[in-house]
Structure 1
Amino acid sequence: MATKNEVDLGEDIEKVNEDIGHLWDFLFSPDLWISIGIAALKIFFIVIVALTFVRISRNLVDRLFKRREKGPIRLTERRENTLKKLIKNVVAYVVYFIAIMMILDNVLGFQVGALLAGAGVAGLAIGFGAQNLVRDIISGFFIIFEDQFSVGDYVGVAGIEGTVEEIGLRTTKVLSWTGEMNILPNGNVTQVINYSVHNGLSIVDINIPYESNVAEAEPLIEEIVETLPDKYDFIVGKPEIIGVQNLDVSHFVIRVIAETLPGFQWAGERNIRREIQHKLYQEGVEIPSPRIVMYSGNEKDNILDKNRERGQ
């Protein structure tokens, strides 16, 4: 006769086998796979519609701004690029949010209303700790509204210099000239240096050795600066020779300034310096170098005696 433990073990095994059978029937039930297939088709359809709507909206935004060019309202190219990217991003965020809500509600069966209500209560509590997020969004709004800078501008913000790639409501992307992409929270943009709004000024100092005098050096520099506006489109007007800026140990300094298009002041300095140096080299004016003059003891005494005689 079987013992009680053996009977209980047999019942447990039979129950496990029964549960496995139910699970097997559930996993390979036609109704389950049909419902999964229908849900997958619904999700696929919602995603395709959302992506299509985003693409169509982007094309509409581009056409809208092209038609605006013929209208009475005029926007700068910088501001136009900024607004276009901002509108496209906002539309994409809204469409994707609606698509996710539709998938949760219509496909997966979540109670979106209750979920949103709970999120609202939780958001009220989280909002007290999300001051930085609110500050970033408000700062981003005023950056765009006040046109502090736009996409394509070369700016200096938060210790970073580069070209603005994108302006969002929360962050700004700045591409450094060395290739780094810097993503800055808009709340950190407390001071902006925008190099792309007004014309720049190239300042070039030319070192001339004392063996050449000002009367010889300035005409040579004047001759070359007259040709620069024709060679370089970004130089606005004829550069101006300010005059002798400084007297150094082995040379004197002649300063040249030139007005350039926005953001081209550094290119102007490099090209002006190269053209003037080439001209001076052709005319035999050498670049000054530091010099050390050494005297022997006797020569030193003779020089001191001559200086005393001159002082008398």
Structure 2
Amino acid sequence: MSHRSDTERQSGIARKMLSYNKRQWTENVTGKVIATVCAALLIVVVLSITYFIASKGLSTFFVNGVSITEFLTQIKWDPEGEPAIYGVFPFILGSFLVTTLAALIAAPLGIGAAIFMVELFPNFGKKVLKPVIELLVGIPSVVYGYVGLTLLVPFIREQFDVLGFSLLAGGLVLALMILPTITSVAADSIAAVPQDLRNASLALGATRWQTIWNVVLHSSLPGCLTAIVLGMARAFGEALAVQMVIGNTTKLPGSLLDPISTLTSGITLNMGNTIQGTPYNNALWSMALLLLLMSFVFIMILRIIGRKGLVNK
């Protein structure tokens, strides 16, 4: 009887193990199928968006006969003139200038705040500074633009006796917008540096600041560069906040206090006033294609920075 009961017990255990393996196999297959479908859907969406924008943007050159060289280098934008002139160089220059200015302002502030959070006062950084930064991330861009419009633009107008709508105003607003992104990513990169490196540097007689400057920042350099590039990518594609404070003129700026225009502001201001399929409308889609290509460039830069070879160096 005991032998029979042992046999039945073993067969019961075997059935349970078999049923568990079947369930596990089903769950694995289901998970793989769902993940594959999601990945394929994401690829299809990206390719569809790229194809749609490219088909619209390239019509300017292959259907309307606009020269690519003149389109990129011409400094005059007059799509409704006779003849029409489609020069987007002022928009391209404005986008790069305002993005660069924002990065130059936000990068040292963001990395400095990350060092403060992780290295100097970690408890205060986690309890106070990090929630504040997360709060800044959640603020809509229109709020930044409205604050810049009501506070920053009048301040620049009073202090420098100019219009107020300027490259400087756009750069400051964008710097405030991308500051949380740079700070968060840089803080994560600095926190990932092994504590043994800090201890070894201090044991060799280096001061705390020498350790931060020569060891921590050097080890986290790829992550800090990634943070800056991510911030610049967001700044380059921002439309509403910049549009509210830069003046939106197609003239080339002569100083930080002159008004400018960007690719995003040019598209948002003019797209609703054009007819689908006209050369004017196609030119705006070409500007959107330039923005998409710049997004790809930023992604490529991030991939290059994140390569293991660069990190090891």
What is the TM-score normalised by the length of structure 2? 0.25
**Larger relative contact order, structure 1 or 2 (CA cutoff 8 Å, min sep 6):** 2
Structure index of larger Rg: 1
Greater share of helix residues, 1 or 2?
2
